[in-house]
Amino acid sequence: MSFNFRSVFCAPCFALVLSGCLAFAGFAEDRAVAAVGPELVQRIEPMDLEGVESRVAYVLRRYYENAFGGAVNWDTIESIRFEGTLRLPQGAVLSFVAFKKKPDYCKIVLFGAGGVRVVMAYDGVDAWQLNTAESAQPVAMPPVEALNFIRDAATGGHLLYPTQPEKRIELLGTRRVGEETCYDLRVTLMNGQQVTYAINMQSYAERQQIVVNAGTGETEVTTHARTAEVDGLLIPTESTMTVDGEFAHEVRLRRVAVNLGLMPWMFSRPSGAYIPGSVPPPAPELEGEGIWQGLQSDSEVLREGAESFGLEPGPFESPGATRFPGLDAETKESILDDIGKL
């Protein structure tokens, strides 16, 4: 189960995490939004293999046990928080924090210079984005970018819910990814988008993921170099993305924590650049006096035992820190401009 900084997190990719032609986008946009809605997943078991082709079921059964701790453990997981760094081709390293909540809520916050934040999010219906260097108001994500982002928003990935209507999972065979032999599983979603997963034949951990960008038609390959277990979940902690063979970005996770008490409204457009777990903003749209009770701050959660992968301190350990080491003001501005175009 990976976190894809593809469309920012997922620039070319954060349109990603931060992501096929335009004609396809016009047809598929509404169906993509409804691909894995709360009403549908409530009626389907995420690991139900009844009726699934036997060879596919064999791989998925072991993948569910090894990557998710099985159905019992997965049922205890409601949300996941990721903190880490994003390394860009020009060498800049930016900090980010990202949140996912079942079934497909996703919010990614990228920290820029001078307190600038770039946010991309999906609340199950609305895909939106915000660049605080340009505006204080979130805007709708462009339709083609939304197709990519919504596809990558699903918590746990698309190998779950194998009996979802109009979804098809095929075992293409086996292939080598680096030094590892993997099963190759291709998932075709109800809107026609495809995701190919390489699953290690021994550990049953996700080793690689391949998608085609809905806007550009480019092939995006995310390969995982390291994996760690967090609350029974196998989480890739170091991943590299290439776009048509060229390096796009590297993601390194510093910490992962689960079940922080995230609420659906925290992913909605009125939440803007707010980071779940921090002091609530005085926004009239966020109603309910009791909603903050019992929700620890991010810094408290990190200090109290969230997994650490040995990287340098992150933005919550050094308030206000940004990660543009050694760059002059002009270069920093250029990076932010590039991010804003993703």
Which tens digits make up the pLDDT trace of 56-83? 999 999 999 999 999 999 999 999 999 9
Does residue 327 lie in a domain region?
A: yes
Cα separation, 140 vs 31, whole angstroms: 17
Residue 18 confidence (pLDDT) above 90? no
This prediction has a pTM of 0.75
Backbone angles phi, psi at 299, to 5 degrees: -65, -35
Q: Are 130 and 137 in contact (CB under 8 A)?
A: yes
Which helix (H) or strand (E) segment holds residue 174: the answer is: strand 168-177
> Number of helices (H) and strands (E), helices first, in the chain?
7, 16
Q: Read off the tokens for 129.
A: 């984005």
Q: Residue 4's pLDDT is what?
A: 57
Cα separation, 38 vs 61, whole angstroms: 23
Does residue 238 lie in a domain region?
A: yes
Does residue 330 lie in a domain region?
A: yes
Which tens digits make up the pLDDT trace of 115-145? 999 999 999 999 999 999 999 999 999 999 9
Q: Tell me the CA end-to-end span of the chain in Å, nearest whole number.
A: 24
Cα separation, 91 vs 222, whole angstroms: 18
Cα separation, 40 vs 104, whole angstroms: 12
Q: Are 306 and 314 in contact (CB under 8 A)?
A: no
Cα separation, 78 vs 279, whole angstroms: 22
What is the total count of domains within the chain?
A: 1
Q: Residue 182's pLDDT is what?
A: 98
Which tens digits make up the pLDDT trace of 174-200? 999 999 999 999 999 999 999 999 999
Does residue 189 lie in a domain region?
A: no
Largest CA distance in the chain: 58
* Confidence label for 276 from pLDDT (cuts 50, 70 and 90): confident
Q: Which of 90, 265, 97, 68 is nearest to 161 (CA)?
A: 68
Q: Residue 185's pLDDT is what?
A: 98
The domain in which residue 241 lies consists of 7-48+75-164+224-340
Does residue 328 lie in a domain region?
A: yes
Backbone angles phi, psi at 66, to 5 degrees: -85, -35
Cα separation, 253 vs 312, whole angstroms: 11
Cα separation, 6 vs 224, whole angstroms: 14
Please give the residue that has the higher pLDDT: either 53 or 332: 53
Q: What residue has token string 């996700």?
A: 206
Residue 156 confidence (pLDDT) above 90? yes
Does residue 60 lie in a domain region?
A: no
Which tens digits make up the pLDDT trace of 92-120? 999 999 999 999 999 999 999 889 999 99
Sign of CA dihedral 27, 119, 220, 123: negative
Other C-beta atoms within 10 Å of 78: how many? 14
Does residue 315 lie in a domain region?
A: yes
Does residue 57 lie in a domain region?
A: no
Q: Residue 2's pLDDT is what?
A: 61
Indicate the range of 18-22, 41-45, 46-50, 269-273 predicted with least confidence.
Answer: 18-22
